[in-house]
Amino acid sequence: MSLERAELLVEAARYDAAGTMLSRMVAENPDDVAAWVLLGRVHLGKDDIPAALGALDEAVRIAPHAYAVLYLRGYLLARADRDAEAEDSLRAAIAAAPEEAPTYVVLSRLIRGARAPEAFALACEAVNRDPELPAAHLAVCLAAAVIGDDGTCERALRETLRLDPAHAEAQTLFTLAQAEGVPAGMASRVIADALAVNPRLDGLRPKLDHAGYLLLRRTRWPALACLVVAMFAAGMPSGDDPAPMTGTFTSRLWGLLIMALIWGVAGFLRYRRLRTGVRLHLFVLLRRGPWSRIVVAQAVLIMVSALLVLLWPWADSEVPTGLLGCTVLPVMIMMIFDDRMKR
């Protein structure tokens, strides 16, 4: 009964209460392997990897062939960057329970470098064992990226996001690939580069934020295209001297339709192709990132100027020309600055 209550506390993330209860239980019965495993989960929940490993070492001493003990210990050793020990523990876990897919996933992500084909085989085995496990498909994606199998990499990433649209790592990789401008929305090259920077894929949030910023700043290009359409539709003269606006009602109406089509194709459809989690991250980025708000505000300013040029009955071109100059000049300066910063 106490063990069941402790497990409920762990599931509810009440680690302090669960830790106190489990510490008392292992003090009374040092050979209670289930209590040691739960205590390891408590320390893992509190991100105390050394203490968690200590608890799992006790569990291994009591039950050296138990799958749950070997798997969790291997996972913790991988978190501690003790790769050789982690691999031994995970292979022992596979021998104890070869039907469990998560073990193949962790082992596949542990192996890298010249052993990438082996990692790919392990990831594929995880998918065979549990086709509904998102982590298994992500492991296939990562291993395929390293060996350069772009098609498999793309399919596996999309399958991961289909099974779990809120999967944080998959969202990160998808957004990074989107920001790289890859037509299909991702590429093994992008993922391989991310793995080269950090094989564990931890701490990629700054890269995700930067990728989101790159996506947001592209909104200025459709806005500038709309501005060019508005100038032609309104009949603005190409010379420097003020002259009457020659645009007719029909040409202005066609200009408005073309602007709507530009945003429909370049804006809305591209936005709809993004996963739900990626779209939500863009809104979060708009709330907390001042530069993101600036580039979106510039796109809005350009569109307001385009609509004023197109719809207002200007007598001559002097005022709209000045309006366009005040709008476009600072935006172009910042776009040049953006490109230099990226390089």
Q: What is the pLDDT of residue 93?
A: 94
Q: In this predicted model, which residue has the larger pLDDT, 261 or 271?
A: 261
Pair (256, 153) in one structural domain: no
Pair (23, 86) in one structural domain: yes
Pair (153, 122) in one structural domain: yes
Pair (217, 199) in one structural domain: no
Pair (186, 58) in one structural domain: yes
- Residues contacting 201, CB < 8 A, separation 6+: 142, 169, 172, 173, 194, 195
Pair (224, 199) in one structural domain: no
Helix, strand, coil shares, percent, the chain, to 5: 80, 0, 20
Range with the lowest mean pLDDT among 25-29, 179-183, 197-201, 339-343? 339-343
CA separation for the pair 198, 192 (Å, rounded): 10
Average pLDDT score over residue span 263-292: 70
Range of the domain at 301: 212-342
pLDDT digit string, tens, across residues 165-220: 888 778 777 776 665 554 443 445 556 555 654 555 554 556 566 667 777 888 88
Residue that terminates a domain, selected from 151, 181, 203: 203
Pair (188, 71) in one structural domain: yes
CA separation for the pair 292, 212 (Å, rounded): 8
Residue 120 contacts residue 140 (beta carbons within 8 Å): yes
Pair (169, 225) in one structural domain: no
Per the structure, how many domains does the chain have? 2
Pair (274, 337) in one structural domain: yes
Q: In this predicted model, which residue has the larger pLDDT, 258 or 172?
A: 258
Q: What is the pLDDT of residue 287?
A: 75
